[in-house]
Amino acid sequence: MELKDKIVLVTGASSGIGQAVAIRFAKEGADVIIHFRKNEEGAKETQKLVGEFGVRSSVVKADLSVEKDVQDMFKQISAEYETLDILINNAASPTEFVPYPSSTQKDLLDLFNVNIVNAMLCSKYAMEIMKAQKSGKILNTTSIKGWEHGGSSVGYAVSKAAMNSFTRTLAKSVAPDIQVNAVAPGYVKTRVYDNQPEEKIKNWLNGTLLKRWVTLEEVAEAFIFLAKNDAMTGQILYIDGGFTLK
Ligand SMILES: NC(=O)c1ccc[n+]([C@@H]2O[C@H](COP(=O)([O-])OP(=O)(O)OC[C@H]3O[C@@H](n4cnc5c(N)ncnc54)[C@H](OP(=O)(O)O)[C@@H]3O)[C@@H](O)[C@H]2O)c1
pLDDT in tens, 189-227: 999 999 999 999 999 999 999 999 999 999 999 999 999
Among 17, 66, 93, 192, the mutation site with the greatest number of ligand 1 atoms within 8 A of its Cβ is 17
Q: Provide CB contacts within 8 A for 87, sequence distance 6+.
A: 8, 9, 11, 122, 123, 126, 130, 136, 137, 138, 139
Nearest CA to ligand 1 atom 46: 94
Q: Please report, to the nearest 10 degrees, the dihedral formed by the alpha carbons of residues 235, 189, 161, 153 taken in order.
A: 160
In this predicted structure, the answer to whether residue 246 has a pLDDT above a threshold of 80 is no
Is 187 among the catalytic positions? no
pLDDT average, residue stretch 145-162: 93
In this predicted structure, the answer to whether residue 58 has a pLDDT above a threshold of 80 is yes
Q: What is the CATH number of domain 7-239?
A: 3.40.50.720
Nearest CA to ligand 1 atom 2: 188
Regarding the beta carbon of 185 and ligand 1, being less than 6 Å apart is answered: yes
Q: Would you list the domain boundaries of the chain?
A: 7-239
pLDDT average, residue stretch 142-153: 91
Give the whole-angstrom CA distance, residue 181 versus residue 167.
Answer: 6
CA of 89 to the centre of ligand 1 (A): 10
pTM: 0.98
pLDDT average, residue stretch 88-107: 95
Mean pLDDT of the chain: 97
In this predicted structure, the answer to whether residue 97 has a pLDDT above a threshold of 90 is no
pLDDT given at position 120: 98
Q: Which atom of ligand 1 is nearest to the CA of 14?
A: 43
pLDDT given at position 151: 82
CA 62 to chain centre: 15
Regarding the beta carbon of 37 and ligand 1, being less than 6 Å apart is answered: yes
Q: How far apart are the first and last CA of the chain?
A: 34
For residue 139, which amino acid is it?
L
Q: Which atom of ligand 1 is nearest to the CA of 42?
A: 40
